[in-house]
Amino acid sequence: MSLRFIDTHCHFDFPPFVDDVPESLARAAQAGVEQIIIPATQASRFAALMALVDNHAPLYAALGLHPIVIEQHDDESLAVLENWLKQQPEKLVAVGEIGLDLYRDAPQFTRQQAVLDAQLALAKRYDLPVILHSRRTHDKLAMHLKRHNLPRTGVVHGFAGSLQQAERFVQLGYYIGVGGTITYPRASKTREVMARLPLSALLLETDAPDMPLNGFQGQPNRPERAAQVFAALCELRSEAPAAIADALIRNTNKLFASL
């Protein structure tokens, strides 16, 4: 039985994929990855990303301002984002990648929060879900999400927090992104979270070319490895693989309605 997958978070507009798009898409399709959502990082990349998804049927876009490059974002960046959202392009499925990050030096956290709030307001105005980045900020992010109360909610991608933090996001109506971290036996906390959350709360992702899987350290991650993340998830869950695969697709289509 062949299973199908959607990679809900892949930076396909970066090397090595953008250097050979047909080959990268073929490799993904061979592994059962039929659709790929590409979250943007900054306004200067929006036009190229939208051109990329318009030219390739399996690709979809999210547009947003990533907190890790907060110094790249200004009021003009937010205006560019809103201009794209106003146009409602057919293959624009979310606002993202947005969020909070306290991992880097000099995080400009007050500004991060202001930029996040502005983007959550835009997502609400244009009725789009959000793709969320959170490092060392889960509790603070949950406060922002509760305050904005988005009708379409979103996904906290690459989640590596506690079960209690994950359950709070789920209670707020958000999904949790399952990535390559669970392929590492030492990642016992994250593995337990993905084993215990309701299957209805999970989405599959790679974060390629980042977040390499166990056994591929030092190599760019790739969208076809979503199949290996799925296999690792199946080892942690009691449901049958076909039921898990169906639920992941169903969850993805429910959140990203225009896929």
The CA-atom distances, in angstroms, between 66 and each of 92, 117, 120, 198 are 17, 13, 13, 28
Torsion of the alpha carbons at 147, 45, 108 and 75, rounded to the nearest 10: -70
The CA-atom distances, in angstroms, between 219 and each of 31, 99, 108, 211, 229 are 18, 26, 30, 10, 16
Q: What domains lie within the chain, and their CATH numbers?
A: 5-255 (3.20.20.140)
- The annotated binding site is made up of 9, 11, 97, 133, 157, 207
Measured between alpha carbons, how far is 56 from 29 in angstroms, rounded to an integer? Answer: 13
Per residue of the chain (259 residues), what is the pLDDT tens digit? 689 999 999 999 999 999 999 999 999 999 999 999 999 999 999 999 999 999 999 999 999 999 999 999 999 999 999 999 999 999 999 999 999 999 988 899 999 999 999 999 999 999 999 999 999 999 999 999 999 999 999 999 999 999 999 999 999 999 999 999 999 999 999 999 999 999 999 999 999 999 999 999 999 999 999 999 999 999 999 999 999 999 999 999 999 987 8
Measured between alpha carbons, how far is 223 from 128 in angstroms, rounded to an integer? Answer: 24
- The annotated binding site for a divalent metal cation is made up of 9, 11, 97, 133, 157, 207
